[in-house]
Structure 1
């Protein structure tokens, strides 16, 4: 695997390349970084040049100064800059959760740059209805009580299970824990609100030349992001495509998930 950096306005992005073949960019969601796809990547590198990266403000991609007012737009433009820097032509993209929001905005801003986009459970607020009304003010909890309280409230409201910490963490796991603590601070303090207020341009998404596939996790039914994915697909006049596992099925079931992703990309 090759790791490189790319200077962009207000940040420096760190990204990784592995494998050979057409480019498949994997975009993490929320506070996640490239390590979210550690289990998935090896199942794809025999067919694709897999590109992973840490979005601006997270882990290895620090920002300079204060976060911008339009983080979703900045993340979308960062993907545009990264794809240009790769110099490999149109790419396939798999994007999860908030990363799917990034890529939906990218599709509006940079039409035709992506061949196929699989947007997995994008949490589009307009489709959450009563779920959104019952959702706690996570940024306020973070400001008043810190990361741990905000994380507990966020995971419970999102329908996610909190994994137990490793009983005897390795130095690498300890370091990753520190990075994720900082990432959650950035997410709760800045990025979550930007994702929550984002609105899809349905006309642009319907008109795009990109093959747009909205995906949901088979085991995630009833959770907010799953519901939003179904409703977005319906608003676009298409059916959502089911993938193995839950909201993070690519980590929990990487082999079956990679097989399904390859199938979807092959037949798009």
Structure 2
């Protein structure tokens, strides 16, 4: 199993960021996959990472065997939710990361977890990385994700089994976007335990559902 930090985030080295950040991240994924032995892989990608992997499937058909795209926030399928969503990048530019974070979490239906009462050195370092991540997210990545449009014909023809997954938080933007994309691809979303971050909130149940989904690789091209 391989995990990685995308360009500009967490432990990745500072690097030049392209205007097309989603496309650049997708190209970076392909550079990583080219270094891995064993042929096509299966990928779980969540949220903005799922957008990156959908773009990757368009650019590199067949490089991934199965993509489980968990709650990709595709703007096209948000409907009235998009009209009511605040301008988070604008809030970030005018008021800073803390104001943007509060507005984003509230509009997305997420709860901000309380900080640890006695944080360890590792938790402090993680908090600093996350703050840096949100600086990049609100300033560059969120606008790029919001502007991304799926090429449904290319995704259907990509040779990758695309499984659009959603959690149990119906009515939240990422959930509804996932449902919309799954139906646009001709199917229904696969339900996973937990909410948008179910992989951390309910890891054992989420992992079992993921294993079950990957074991069905030979059944359908799109689900």
TM-score computed with the length of structure 2 as normaliser: 0.96
For CA contacts below 8 A with separation 6 or more, give which structure has more relative contact order. Answer: 2
- Tell me whether 55-64 or 129-138 shows the greater mean CA deviation: 55-64
Match of 2:208 among 244, 252, 259: 259
Q: Which runs of 5+ in 2 are unaligned?
A: 218-223
Say which SS state the counterpart of residue 93 (structure 1) adopts.
strand
RMSD (CA atoms): 0.8
Say which SS state the counterpart of residue 92 (structure 1) adopts.
strand
Asked if the contact 2:166–2:175 (Cα under 8 Å) also holds between the matched residues in 1, the reply is yes
Asked if the contact 2:7–2:15 (Cα under 8 Å) also holds between the matched residues in 1, the reply is no
Q: Count the aligned residue pairs.
A: 217
Output the CA distance in 1 between the equivalents of 2:139 and 2:187.
Answer: 34
Q: Does 1:206 align with 2:206?
A: no
Deviation at 1:59, TM superposition (A): 1.3
Match of 2:194 among 225, 233, 245: 245
Matches within 5 A, 1:1-268: 50-65=1-16, 67-218=17-168, 220-268=169-217
Residue 220 of structure 2 is matched in structure 1 by: none
Deviation at 1:68, TM superposition (A): 1.0
Output the CA distance in 1 between the equivalents of 2:56 and 2:90.
Answer: 29
Q: Deviations over 1:71-116 (max 9, x none)?
A: 0000001110000012331100000000000000000000000010
Output the CA distance in 2 between the equivalents of 1:203 and 1:71.
Answer: 22
Output the CA distance in 1 between the equivalents of 2:14 and 2:55.
Answer: 20
Q: Point out 4+ residue stretches in structure 1 off by more than 2 angstroms.
A: 62-65
Q: Which runs of 5+ in 1 are unaligned?
A: 1-49
TM-score computed with the length of structure 1 as normaliser: 0.80
